[in-house]
Amino acid sequence: MNDVSYSSVFKKELSDLVEVKQSVGFDYTTQARAFARVDRFFISIGLSEKRITKDICDAWCRKRSYETQTNQSTRISSLRIFCRYLNDIGIPAYIPPKGITSKRPKYDAHIYTDEELQRFFQAVDDSQSVPSECPYRGLVMPVFFRILYTSGLRVSELRLLRVSDIDFNGGYITIRNAKNHKDRIVPIHPELMNGCRRIKDAIHCDSPDDEFFFMLRAGQPMPLANVYKNFRRYLDRAGISHTWKGPRVHDFRHTYCVNLLRKWVDEGKDLMAFLPYMRTMLGHEGFEETAYYLKLTSERFPYIKLQLKSSFPNLLQEVSIDEHEFY
């Protein structure tokens, strides 16, 4: 259900596009809100005819002084999607071409060393609860960040988990409607599942099944800003330097993948047989996303490169390291 309303000359078409997408299974909530910004732009320029010209597109695509390149690209993508839809239903619309923004610089993923992980989790374990503000921080954060690292989950997949998504008897969690609009089951280490039981007993004695497990307060999940604020605090206490380039919370996912592949190679495992397991755990749509970690592993650990080439002779050259995943 779309709770965003539109008021421009294209209000019907914007609403119809969101409804079409949601009817075939897409959540589309974020995109619906992005369209609201496009809608306001149409109103601001006094658009009264159902036609989008190149001049209108150019005005929308022009970079604002206050925005990042990523935000600009996201804005352009929203208009591109809408213009394609207009063309499909017979309304003339100039489609913004790709490549308007310059290519974003490659992010060099931070792979935490074993020593850094040990220091980081010691800082997490030393975290203190504050009864008036964060009464459960000392209980929740050690479990939250350990599951994040040992499962390879995206941070929002974990923070938006519901009580009913955890099978305490089976020892796994169910990730629902994830990035590729698919559910998947992720096993959790028994010690961490015990930690989840302690959280449930302390926080969720009377919670309904659809309550957020890692809630900030009733009905409200732990926000990204809260995760990031605590993450930065633990980095500082662990003596791990942070710059605008990272490390990021998402780098735990990269580190999980690299260390798992390193473990499999060291144990002589057949990667052709084991990679589908990683693909399922990570919720990847295609093999190329998983192959990204093969190249990342080979670059971080050169001794592994020759062994990987024996199983994937062409893959390491063909896969470009880029950022496939987002929060």
> d(Cα 153, Cα 253) in Å, to the nearest integer?
6
- Concatenated DSSP letters of 149-192: HHH---HHHHHT-BGGGEETTTTEEEE-S-TTS--EEEE--HHH
Answer yes or no: CATH 3.40.1080.10 is held by domain 114-238: no
Tell me the pLDDT of the chain (327 aa) as tens digits: 557 899 999 999 999 999 998 888 777 888 899 999 999 999 999 999 999 999 999 999 998 888 888 788 889 999 999 999 999 999 999 999 887 776 555 567 888 999 999 999 999 999 887 776 777 888 899 999 999 999 989 998 999 999 999 999 999 999 987 766 678 899 999 999 999 999 999 999 999 999 999 988 888 888 888 999 999 999 999 999 987 777 989 899 989 988 888 888 888 888 778 888 888 888 877 677 777 777 777 777 777 766 666 666 555 454 444 443 433
> d(Cα 127, Cα 120) in Å, to the nearest integer?
11
> d(Cα 78, Cα 4) in Å, to the nearest integer?
15
pLDDT of residue 296: 74
pLDDT of residue 102: 62
Which residue is it, tokens 């909530």? 29
pLDDT of residue 326: 34
Nearest to 271 by CA among 318, 310, 228: 310
pLDDT of residue 40: 96
